[in-house]
Amino acid sequence: MRYLYTAATCCCAILAACASSGTSGTETATGTAVAKTKTNPDFIATAEIDAGTFRDAYDIVQRLRPNWFTKARASSGGSLSGTQVAGASGSMSGVQPNSSSGALVVYLDNHRMGGPEALRDMSASAIGSLQYMDAATATAKLPGIGSSIVSGAIVATSRGR
């Protein structure tokens, strides 16, 4: 009988300790719960887009996932021709890999739009999500690549699709 009482006491103590935290996220000094948000490094969701003020899809990528441009540079052998860094935000313009190593391509709703500069023609308010695909994934999943050499792809999806 004593064993059952001890086990019940331990179980109650464990349950009380678990219930005392009251949150599944992180607590601040005031005790309010803060949701843990984990961002996907290869995906930008509508919520992230809506949380900021952006001019166009290029601005979204440049400010939220600037490494997508550097990933393409790394997979293209480290050389992007026409790269220009300007301003405090480090914005890049004219990002184009050299012709022998492949290009970063941009798709909108499964239609090939061109290189990274095509992102500038896409209104931020019209973008539902953006996804980065490495060269192998892009070649396997996106239409119209065929035997073209690409260093990666940025795939935009319109809102409402």
Closest to 159 measured CA to CA, from 43, 42, 46, 56? 46
In this prediction, residues 77-100 reach a mean pLDDT of 41
In this prediction, residues 88-100 reach a mean pLDDT of 41
Tell which wins on pLDDT, 91 or 103: 103
Domain ranges of the chain: 1-36, 39-158
User: Which residue spans within 87-126 are E strands per DSSP?
Assistant: 91-93, 96-97, 103-108, 111-114
Tell which wins on pLDDT, 102 or 1: 102
- Taking phi over 0 as left and psi of -120 to 50 as alpha, with beta for the rest, 114 belongs to left
pLDDT tens profile 47-72: 999 999 999 999 999 999 999 998 87
Q: Which residue has the tokens 């996932």?
A: 65
What 3-state class would DSSP assign to 81?
A: strand
Distance of alpha carbon 85 from alpha carbon 93, whole angstroms: 7
Tell which wins on pLDDT, 55 or 75: 55
In this prediction, residues 87-109 reach a mean pLDDT of 60
Distance of alpha carbon 85 from alpha carbon 72, whole angstroms: 16
Model-level pTM? 0.64
Closest to 47 measured CA to CA, from 38, 55, 56? 38
pLDDT tens profile 6-40: 444 444 444 444 443 343 444 444 454 445 567 89
pLDDT at 126 over 80: yes
In this prediction, residues 70-81 reach a mean pLDDT of 64
What CATH number should be reported for the domain whose range is 39-158? 2.170.130
Question: What pLDDT, on the 0 to 100 scale, is given for residue 9?
Answer: 45
Question: What pLDDT, on the 0 to 100 scale, is given for residue 37?
Answer: 60
Tally of residues, the chain: 161
Distance of alpha carbon 3 from alpha carbon 23, whole angstroms: 32
Question: What pLDDT, on the 0 to 100 scale, is given for residue 76?
Answer: 60
Compute how many other C-beta atoms are within 10 angstroms of the C-beta atom of residue 9.
10
Question: Token pair for residue 130?
Answer: 């953006």
